Amino acid sequence: MPTPPDLQTLADRIEIESLGARFTDAVMMHDFDRLLSLFTEDAVLRIPDADIELVGRAGLRAGMPRMQDAWEFFVQNTHPGVIELDGDTASGRAHILEFGRLKSGSSHSNYAIYHDRYRRTGDGWKFTERVYEVRYLDSSPLPGSPPGENGLGAEVSAAQLNG
């Protein structure tokens, strides 16, 4: 029978797993200060298919808002993957589902994997590297729109519901 993990190992795994959720939330909320706090000073974010490499927090601070500003709307969902602990460092993967429409009018739907490296710091676990690998891409026009363009898509008006 395998030995159960100790409490520190469990705490490390939970904290590392939460990095992916906090990353997605910060990106979705355009909270770039919070996003930067998830990375070490020397961290690297790579998206090889788009020839993007953002180095250090300064590179992330400059690049992430420009990347997000290209979108009319954007949705990212993160699904936890594997985490391999090695003392004060670790590696892991997060599985991603994204879709959105760029301001240029092109649509984007994909499934991808973030290949991650982490380091324990005085402020907790941080990303030292994120490499984004697209596994499936669909650039077909998205049929929907963000709320406000065409309501919420309901056939019943607020007046009918409240009346």
Distance CA 60, CA 39 (A): 9
Q: How far apart are CA 136 and CA 98, in angstroms?
A: 10
Q: Is residue 71 part of a domain?
A: yes
- Write phi, then psi, for 61 (nearest 5 degrees): -60, -40
Evaluate whether residue 72 is within a structural domain: yes
109: closest CA among 101, 121, 117? 101
> Residue 163 — very low, low, confident or very high, per pLDDT cuts 50/70/90?
low
Using alpha carbons, select from 99, 95, 123 the residue that is nearest to residue 109. 99
Say if 77 falls within a structural domain. yes
Q: Are 54 and 42 in contact (CB under 8 A)?
A: no
- If one counts the domains in the chain, the total is 1
Examine residue 1 and state whether it is found in any structural domain, yes or no. Answer: no
Output the pLDDT for position 126. Answer: 98
Domain assignment present for 20: yes
Q: Which of 54, 60, 22, 52 is nearest to 38 (CA)?
A: 22
Query: Tell me, what amino acid is at 96?
Result: I
Please state the rounded mean pLDDT for residues 66-85: 93
Query: Is residue 123 assigned to a domain?
Result: yes
Number of residues assigned to the chain: 163
2 in any annotated domain: no
- Per residue in 12-22, pLDDT (tens digit) is 999 999 999 99
**Does residue 101 lie in a domain region?**
yes
The range of the structural domain enclosing residue 64 comes to: 7-162
Mean of pLDDT values over 78-89 = 96
Mean pLDDT of 82-97: 97
CATH code, domain carrying 43: 3.10.450.50
Q: What is the CA radius of gyration of the chain?
A: 19
Average pLDDT of the chain? 90
- Average pLDDT of span 154-163: 56
pTM over 0.75: yes
Contacts of the segment 4-12: beta carbons below 8 A, 24+ positions apart: 9/85, 12/85, 12/90, 12/120, 12/125
Phi, psi (degrees; rounded to nearest 5) at 21: -65, -40
